[in-house]
Amino acid sequence: MSYQAIIITIGDELLIGQTIDTNSAWIAQELNKTGINVKRRIVVADKKADIAEALDASLPHADILFLTGGLGPTADDITKPMLCEYFGGNMVVNETVLAHVKQLFAKRNRPFLERNLKQAEVPDNCTVLFNRMGTAPGMWFEKDERIIISLPGVPFEMQTIVSEEAMPRIRERFKGNAIVHKTLMAIGVGESFIAEQIEDIETALPPHIHLAYLPTPGFVKLRLSSEGSDKEQLQREVDIHADLIRQRLGNVIAATEDIPLEEIVARALQLHRMSLGLAESCTGGYVANRITNVAGSSAFFKGSVVSYANEVKTNVLGVKKETLETVGAVSEATVIQMAENARSILKADITLSISGILGPGGGTAEKPVGLVWMAIAGPNKTISKSFHFFYDRPRNKEMAANAALNMIRLFLEDL
Amino acid sequence: MSYQAIIITIGDELLIGQTIDTNSAWIAQELNKTGINVKRRIVVADKKADIAEALDASLPHADILFLTGGLGPTADDITKPMLCEYFGGNMVVNETVLAHVKQLFAKRNRPFLERNLKQAEVPDNCTVLFNRMGTAPGMWFEKDERIIISLPGVPFEMQTIVSEEAMPRIRERFKGNAIVHKTLMAIGVGESFIAEQIEDIETALPPHIHLAYLPTPGFVKLRLSSEGSDKEQLQREVDIHADLIRQRLGNVIAATEDIPLEEIVARALQLHRMSLGLAESCTGGYVANRITNVAGSSAFFKGSVVSYANEVKTNVLGVKKETLETVGAVSEATVIQMAENARSILKADITLSISGILGPGGGTAEKPVGLVWMAIAGPNKTISKSFHFFYDRPRNKEMAANAALNMIRLFLEDL
């Protein structure tokens, strides 16, 4: 038996494009772990009629309906009274919620205002889902054997309520089919090329295993999915086919799970017991930022000299003025000096340097926008490589950082 | 007359939460500029039946329907033949598209494979929207006076097709009501507090001007929206009310348009003709990354010493060993030395330093997770401040970077 969920997101800000919806993706992942499929996602405006229309259209098709957004303290939030009315209840002050809201205001040294009293009102026909992280409680309604869960839109509040309050109740209620996903992260080659390489493996997949290609700026993600009653059996089958693909594609596959490239690099550094330092020019700290997103990165990451100005390249990194004057900052000679000097300054086992032109300005006929030089200095050798990216500034920065992290990965694999 | 659009996004990856949908937000912004409202957004699976169901349900309610995703070269893409059938056409090879696809493959040094021939096939009942950036063309169908536009899911390809091919045709066809939005960026105070401060202004808003509160990790965005026939008149009215709010809230308002905090700081630096340097520990290059996201930042940004390891704080930034041994890296004395020494090392007019504990590990009773010290050294003074953030590692990093950028903004306002 397979259960279906629909996620309704409420908010004008999502319809005018001011906010990106990350909540739905997170909820979908949580539901998938429990074997519940998300059949559809809908975004509607902060309007009673539009919310009601979406509820009417979705309720017949979903075992579980999630609503997020529209529960905050200010005048533009209308979801709570609307749901109360839709499910035929009355608004009442909930004393537990009231005490919690007052305590939160005290802790944050903010005055408790008359309008905040409303935040403690809930419909009397729902189960309150406690919001440890904020003031707006979640709500659990039931109608015709279907579950309707309303949640605040602030991501970390929503996530806490789902993890701590909603999912335990959902797991108890719905025991569905197992769903198994496995993702291979391919880097450095295109979608069509991969498809051609593994065509025979793909054709021979059993009908209940589906392969999807997801191109992203860093990777082509290859996702194998399978649904059935025996989770262990599914996992074994998916693992076997994933392994066939991995062997065929070789070191193009950077990981066999959907983790960020910085996490892959962090694991490789720890495996080789090596520390990392950086000397970034055009990426402006972005590679260091990615590395330090990994919890525990202080165990292997020394630091970065973000030498955006040329005088920082000479004064701090000791790049020769002569080099900058003759071949320029975006050159093989410069990145080699940056990497090698940074290695002794930062006392790191390996260092990576980057210098390039990300655009929109700064390009010349000889050195066009998108040209990026990188070098890695290690205990026994220094390697250098140039890249050319063809996109706009944000995407070129993303591509350069991905290429840098991948260069570190391959350097470590080669040791 | 007001026109309505619906955006349908196709992709299993969006329903299982593997990918975040940024395309819909971008399309919505473009449509808004032309006075077209997005009434609803829907995400459905890569399944013929689900796409058809969404089309059936949406066509009666929309003047324009956008579909994104499902047009790539690999086996999991089914949208193109499905749409062809839905609108009653036949697939034919389009010679212009074929020539373009072949040329793209040649430019990227990738072999043109048999399966890539399919990418040049289009339904014979659509207008092809040329995809300068990639291989999958956009398609423009018409049915019962409604427009249906199908686009590839890769963001920069989709954006180029919409800007260059779709929007000019849309603007020609639909001349609707004007929509005016204006957003004020409030920083450092909560949603309820703001609502209380401007209650009288909000109550006195004319009925056709709507105020919405959008809390984000960095800001509370206050968005005034208005729709009507006379765009200039709307703009004047919205500006007047925005100005009332801005005056009431004072320097809590960092900007009167929806721009990132780093852009606000960049403008302030350029206004004061001052250069910026950074000495980051716990934020690990994230503040430098934000600053260098601004195009043209090399005009005022010198660089950052990302001193993640204590030895980099001493060796590169010259923080006294004695200070680290007695009061530790997360202390007022350390950040003051970091900022003042970085100012001479990076030769910047002002420098900001950050040292803190973002978690999950590393906290003690005396210095808990979330404690962050910052200092700014300028030509005439150095100021320092401590913060305490209560969230998880990624959010603490975000909050710390926002606090740092805001501290620079206020420092410059005070000069």
Q: How many CB atoms lie within 10 A of CB A138?
A: 26
pLDDT exceeds cutoff 90 at B384: yes
Interchain CB distance below 8 Å, A26 and B17: yes
**B289 and A291 in contact (C-beta within 8 Å)?**
no
B156 pLDDT tier (thresholds 50, 70, 90): confident
Work out whether the CA dihedral A285, A287, A293, A297 comes out positive or negative. Answer: negative
Average pLDDT over residues A13-40: 86
Q: Does B32 touch chain A (CB under 8 A)?
A: yes
- Is B305's CB within 8 Å of A311's CB? no
Among the partner residues B44, B288, B293, nearest to A394 by beta-carbon distance: B293
Spell out which residues of chain B touch residue A295, defining contact as CB-CB under 8 Å.
359-361, 393
Q: How far is B105 from chain A (nearest CA, A)?
A: 10
Q: A116: which chain B residues are within 8 Å (Cβ-Cβ)? A: 192
- Note whether A289 contacts B: Cβ–Cβ < 8 A: yes
Set of chain B residues whose Cβ sits within 8 Å of the Cβ of A198: none
What does the mean pLDDT of chain B come to? Answer: 91
Return the bridge partners of A161, or none.
none
Please name the residues in contact with B75: beta carbons below 8 A apart, sequence gap of 6 or more: A195, A202, A211, A213
Give residue A76's pLDDT.
55
Q: Rounded to an integer, what distance in angstroms lies between the CA atom of residue B322 and that of residue B260?
A: 39
In a 10 Å sphere around its CB, with 0-12 CB exposed, 13-18 middle and 19+ buried, how is residue B33 labelled? exposed
CB B51 within 8 A of CB B85: no
User: A73, B29: Cβ pair inside 8 Å?
Assistant: no
The answer to whether residues B403 and B388 touch, using CB atoms and an 8 Å cutoff, is no
| Interface-testing mutation among A3, A10, A16, A30, with chain B (most B C-beta atoms within 10 A) | A16
Assess contact for A119 and A136: CB atoms under 8 A: yes
**Which residues of chain A lie closer than 8 angstroms to B304, CB-CB?**
285, 304, 306, 308
| pLDDT value, residue B272 | 96
The closest CB to that of A40, out of B42, B202, B280, belongs to B42
Residue with tokens 């401060």: B197
Tens of pLDDT, residues A270-305: 999 999 999 999 999 999 999 999 999 999 999 999
> Distance (Å) from the C-alpha of residue B121 to the closest C-alpha of chain A?
16
Read off the pLDDT band of B73 (50, 70, 90): low
A216 inside 8 A of chain B by CB = yes
Largest CA distance in chain A: 79
To test the contact with chain B by mutation, choose from A198, A289, A353 the residue with the greatest count of B C-beta atoms within 10 A, namely A289
**Edge-to-edge strand order for the sheet containing B178-186?**
B209-215, B220-228, B178-186, B253-255
What chain B residue is nearest to A183 in terms of C-alpha separation? Answer: B18
| Residues of A in Cβ contact (< 8 Å) with B28 | 14-17
pLDDT at B1 (0 to 100): 61
Residue B75 pLDDT > 60, yes or no? Answer: no
CA distance B347 to chain A (A): 8
Flag whether residue B286 sits within 8 Å of chain A, measured between CB atoms: yes
The listed range with the strongest mean pLDDT (A35-49, B182-196, B242-256) is B242-256
pLDDT in tens, B206-233: 999 989 888 777 789 999 999 888 889 9
Amino acid at site A39:
K
Q: What are phi and psi of B22, to 5 degrees?
A: -100, -15
Query: For the segment B93-145, what is each residue's pLDDT rounded down to a tens digit?
Result: 999 999 998 888 887 777 887 777 888 889 999 999 999 888 889 999 999 88
Whether chain B has a CB inside 8 Å of the CB on A75: the answer is yes
Residue pLDDT, tens place only, A76-113: 568 888 999 999 999 999 999 999 988 888 877 778 87
Task: Report how far residue B203's alpha carbon sits from residue A302's, in angstroms, rounded to the nearest whole number.
Answer: 54
In this prediction, residue B76 carries a pLDDT of 56
Neighbours of B121 (CB within 10 A): 18
Answer yes or no: are the C-beta atoms of A30 and A64 closer than 8 Å: no
pLDDT at A75 over 60: no
Indicate yes or no: CB of A392 within 8 angstroms of CB of B42.
no
Q: How far apart are CA B139 and CA B97, in angstroms?
A: 12
pLDDT at residue B164, rounded to an integer: 94
* 3 state SS of A363: coil
- On chain B, the residues whose CB falls within 8 A of the CB of A308 are 288, 292, 297-298, 301-304
**Mutation target vs A (from B3, B14, B16; most A CBs, 10 A cutoff):** B16
SS (H, E, C) B104-118: HHHHCCCCCCHHHHH
Taking contacts as CB-CB distances below 8 angstroms, the residues of chain A near B394 are: 293
Chain A neighbors of B307, CB-CB under 8 A: 303
Average pLDDT, chain A: 91
DSSP A74: S
CB atoms within 10 A of CB A341: 21
Q: Which helix (H) or strand (E) holds B409?
A: helix B393-413
Confirm or reject contact between A346 and chain B (CB < 8 A): yes
Pick the residue from chain B with its C-alpha nearest to A390. Answer: B133
3-state secondary structure of A232: helix
pLDDT at A1: 61
Q: What is the model's pLDDT at position A302? A: 98
**Rounded (10°) CA dihedral A257, A262, A268, A271:** -100
> Nearest by CB to A25, which of B20, B191, B298?
B20
Q: Does the pLDDT at position A218 exceed 80? A: no
Instruction: State the Cα angle at A20 between B237 and A9, rounded to 5°.
Output: 90
Chain B residue with CA closest to A152: the answer is: B215
Do domains B178-255 and B261-413 share one topology? The answer is: no
For A178-255, CATH number out of 3.90.180.10, 3.20.20.10, 3.30.70.2860, 3.40.50.300 equals: 3.30.70.2860
Partner-chain contact A302 B283, CB within 8 Å = no
Q: Which residues of B284-316 are buried (b: 16+ CB within 10 A; e: fewer)?
A: bbbbbbbbbbbbebbebbbbbbbbbbbebbbbb
CA distance A53 to chain B (A): 11
Give CA–CA dist A208/A201, Å, rounded: 14
> According to the 3-state scheme, what is the secondary structure of A140-160?
EEEECCEEEEEECCCHHHHHH
Q: CA-nearest residue of chain B to A316? A: B345
- Bridge partners, residue A4, by sequence: A37
Task: Say what the alpha-carbon torsion angle A161, A10, A7, B84 is, to the nearest 10 degrees.
Answer: -160
Comparing A89-103, B206-220, B377-391, B392-406, which segment has the lowest mean pLDDT? B206-220
Minimal CA separation from B178 to chain A, in Å? 14
CA distance A143 to chain B (A): 24
User: How sure is the predictor about B318, in pLDDT bands with cuts at 50, 70 and 90?
Assistant: very high
Q: How far is A411 from chain B (nearest CA, A)?
A: 23
Contacts of A292 in chain B (CB under 8 A): 283-286, 306, 308, 397
Chosen for mutation from B37, B179, B192 (greatest number of chain A CBs closer than 10 Å) is: B192
* Mean pLDDT, residues B45-52 taken together: 88
Chain A residues with CB-CB distance to B21 below 8 A: 20-21, 24-25
DSSP assignment string, B309-340:
SHHHHHHTT---HHHHHHT-SSSHHHHHHHHH
Whether residue B371 contacts residue B388, with contact meaning beta carbons closer than 8 Å, is answered with yes
Dihedral pair phi/psi, residue B393, rounded to 5°? -55, -50
State yes or no: cis peptide before A60, omega within 30 of 0: no
3-state DSSP call for residue B188? coil
Q: Where are the domains of chain A?
A: 3-173, 178-255, 261-413
Q: How far is CA A134 from CA A153, A159, A161, B390, in A?
A: 11, 11, 10, 12
Please report, for residues A117, A128, B55, B162, B277, the alpha-carbon distance to residue A125 in angstroms, rounded to integers and kept in the order given. Answer: 19, 9, 35, 46, 57
- Looking at chain B from residue 78 to 97, which residues have their Cβ under 8 Å from any Cβ of chain A? none
Identity of the residue in B73, B258, B312 whose CB atom sits nearest the CB atom of A346: B312
| Residue carrying the six token digits 């700290």 | A285
Q: A261-413 is classed in which CATH architecture? A: Alpha-Beta Complex (3.90)
What CATH number belongs to A3-173? 3.40.980.10
Residues 151-210 of B with CB under 8 A from A: 154, 156, 181, 183, 190-193, 195-196, 202, 210
Of the candidates B32, B111, B190, the beta carbon closest to that of A110 is on B190
For residue B235, which of B245, B246, B225 has the smallest C-alpha distance?
B225
* Average pLDDT score over residue span A237-245: 97
pLDDT band at B72 (very low <50, low <70, confident <90, very high): low
Residue A315 confidence (pLDDT) above 60: yes
Q: Does A257 touch chain B (CB under 8 A)?
A: no
Nearest chain B residue to A14 by CA: give it: B25
List pLDDT tens digits, range A132-172: 888 889 999 999 889 999 999 888 899 999 999 999 999 88
**pLDDT at position B9, please?**
92
